[in-house]
Structure 1
Amino acid sequence: MISSPVTFYVVPMEVNHAAEICEWVYKPPYNIYGWMSWEQMQALDIEFGDPRLRGEQYVSVVNSQGFLCGFAQLFPMEGVVRLGIGMRPDLCGQGMGHLFMSAIVKAALARYPEREIDLEVLTWNQRAIRAYQKSGFTITDTYERRTPTGDKLFYCMVYDK
């Protein structure tokens, strides 16, 4: 399904993509990145289960054959666009993270050219941190933030244009 070299494209998130993302299962400790069922997301009208939010903030990342490889949330804040990123579980750890991130950064810059781009990442997620650094992000802050499983340590990483 995925061939090398890989080119990723950012497209509007379709409903079938949103439903597929809810089925993804990550191996521990990455399983914290899973979503509730698509039916629950729609019923609660949250995140990409909310059609308005899906259209405004969420994008799908596909390869040249159109296969869904991941997604991103481009969350607009004052002077900043914060990225939320998810790669299809079977693609994680395959050395494609920097290419994946480059496509997302390009889309964020096109949509928000005057804003800084940042993201938050759990400090233990070295696999993601390496991909972000390879894509031009630098750690600028460390802080604790509440999560559904308690307070956790995060890095803020900022893209260096």
Structure 2
Amino acid sequence: MPMSALHAQTICTWNYPPPYDLFNWPSWEQMSLNQTDFGDPELRERQFASIIDTTGDLIGFAQFFPLLGVTRLGLGLRPSLCGTGLGVPFVRVIAEEAQRRAPFDEIDLEVLTWNTRAIHTYEKAGFQITDTYQRNSLHGPAEFHCMVLKAPVIPS
């Protein structure tokens, strides 16, 4: 579902433990003021989605960033759910939605090379490392893998 302002505000309160704390978002006030990422209402509507469970609870979010012939995924699972076995189905649902939105696009994502927990999850969900490079991030230069979805996700 499209990400609501309330869900965006909630995501800004999530706190990941180190070393994943670099994935914490700035305050909602700061994001709204600067109109960055999902703090920009138009961008939030076009690119971001809330992932909710069967009871209506917010469990995560996805970004579907359009590139030429590629949909690049960004995603985040609620910190309290990390390490509970939800990662693979969570990533598969997001990949399935990306395919629905842009059926002819390649689906990829970027992941920091040290984040082995995420890399294993993405591999189990059907992604494969295709490139490794250094680029600037919000926290300075960092090394990333680009991972591409190798097989279409079968809808659940």
Pairwise TM-score range, normalised by the shorter structure? over 0.9
2:63 is aligned with 1:82:
no
SS at match of 2:16: coil
Cα distance in structure 2, aligned partners of 1:114 and 1:148: 31
Structure 2 counterparts to residues 118-129 of structure 1, below 5 A: 118-129=108-119
Cα distance in structure 2, aligned partners of 1:148 and 1:65: 34
Shift of 1:14: 1.0
Cα distance in structure 2, aligned partners of 1:129 and 1:94: 16
Cα distance in structure 2, aligned partners of 1:27 and 1:54: 26
Cα distance in structure 2, aligned partners of 1:88 and 1:78: 30
SS at match of 1:12: coil
**Structure 2 match to 1:132:** 122
RMSD: 0.7
2:27 is aligned with 1:37:
yes
**Structure 1 match to 2:93:** 103
Cα distance in structure 2, aligned partners of 1:152 and 1:35: 18
Task: State the TM-score, normalized to the length of structure 1.
Answer: 0.92
Shift of 1:18: 0.3
**Structure 2 match to 1:91:** 81
Per-residue Cα deviation, 1:3-56 (whole angstroms, up to 9, x for no partner): xxxxxxxx1111110000000000000000011000111111111011100000
* Structure 1 unaligned blocks of 5 or more: 1-10
Equivalent in 41, 48, 63 of residue 73 of structure 1: 63
- Alignment length (residue pairs): 151
**Structure 1 match to 2:103:** 113
- The one-letter amino acid paired with 2:30 is Q
2:9 is aligned with 1:19:
yes
Cα distance in structure 2, aligned partners of 1:83 and 1:42: 22
- The one-letter amino acid paired with 2:32 is Q
* Structure 2 unaligned blocks of 5 or more: 152-156
SS at match of 1:146: strand
**Structure 2 match to 1:7:** none
**Structure 2 match to 1:156:** 146
After superposing on structure 2, the runs of 4+ consecutive aligned residues of structure 1 that deviate more than 3 Å are: none
Shift of 1:148: 2.8
SS at match of 1:24: coil
2:37 is aligned with 1:47:
yes
Shift of 1:68: 0.3
Larger mean CA deviation between 149-158 and 28-37 belongs to 149-158
- The one-letter amino acid paired with 2:130 is T
SS at match of 1:106: helix
Query: Identity of paired residues, percent?
Result: 52
